[in-house]
Amino acid sequence: MSSPQDARSFKRVILKLSGEALREPGSKDNISPEIVERVAKEIKLALDTGVEIGVVCGGGNFWRGASASARGMDRATADYVGMLATVMNALALQSALEAEGVKCVVQSAIEMKNVAEPFIRRKANRHLSNNFVVIFAAGTGSPFFSTDTTAALRASEMGADAIMKATMVDGVYDSDPKKNPEAVRYETVTFHNCLAENLKVMDSTAFTLCMDNDIPIIVFDIGGCGNITSALSGDDIGTIIHKG
């Protein structure tokens, strides 16, 4: 997929959900059952169009390894705690998807056979081909890597056509729209420009994987009703980040 014009026709995608997206703003609860249910319903609608869907969940609603490390915890240990947080989110989403009648499996990069399958690339590929939603949990299984990098890695391994990054804003801006009311939203932008302008959409490792494997990233607002279905179905929504 070499141009943004081609980036709206998808057979297989990876949906990247931040942990914060599963929490009601201002709530003391780490996970909102209502939000998880809405996400599951929208994934089902997209799945019914024929697109194959993998999901990578963050864990920031429970834990942030980098923040814990900054407060004195060993960084590797802090990152492992964060990986376990992603498993909790994955299991919550799996339950909601199954309640919608969606065939779904959680694969964990850290072996925990009582709650999830181990990540096996060929098995995950078969699941996706058989119309299962595969939720990739526990990050890459190694510390020092973000779940954005996990999404880029799994998209590369699964031969995905695109990564859908669900955020709290409606695309990529030239500056923080929450701080600058004059910020301009891009319809399309290249990986090179994102790196050169330090647009903090994904970390540099994730960008490099996507550039090397020519996988576009569509950044969109998770808050709008129906946005997940629209993005996964290939509708014109958000900002396309592409190789150029």
176 marked as binding residue? yes
170 marked as binding residue? no
CB burial of 111-140 (b: ≥16 within 10 Å; e: otherwise) equals eeeeebbebeeeebbebbeeebbbbbbbbb
Rounded to 5°, angle at Cα 104 from 103 and 110 = 160
16 marked as binding residue? yes
58 marked as binding residue? no
239 marked as binding residue? no
233 marked as binding residue? no
59 marked as binding residue? yes
142 marked as binding residue? yes
Distance CA 171, CA 230 (A): 14
Name the 3-class secondary structure at 79.
helix
Q: Which residue, chain included where needed, has tokens 């998807």?
A: 97
167 marked as binding residue? yes
145 marked as binding residue? yes
147 marked as binding residue? yes
18 marked as binding residue? yes
86 marked as binding residue? no
82 marked as binding residue? no
Distance CA 244, CA 2 (A): 7
Sequence ranges of the binding site for UMP: 59, 79, 140-147
Q: Which residues carry a binding-site annotation?
A: 16-19, 59-60, 64, 79, 140-147, 167, 173, 176
Annotated binding site for ATP: 16-19, 60, 64, 167, 173, 176
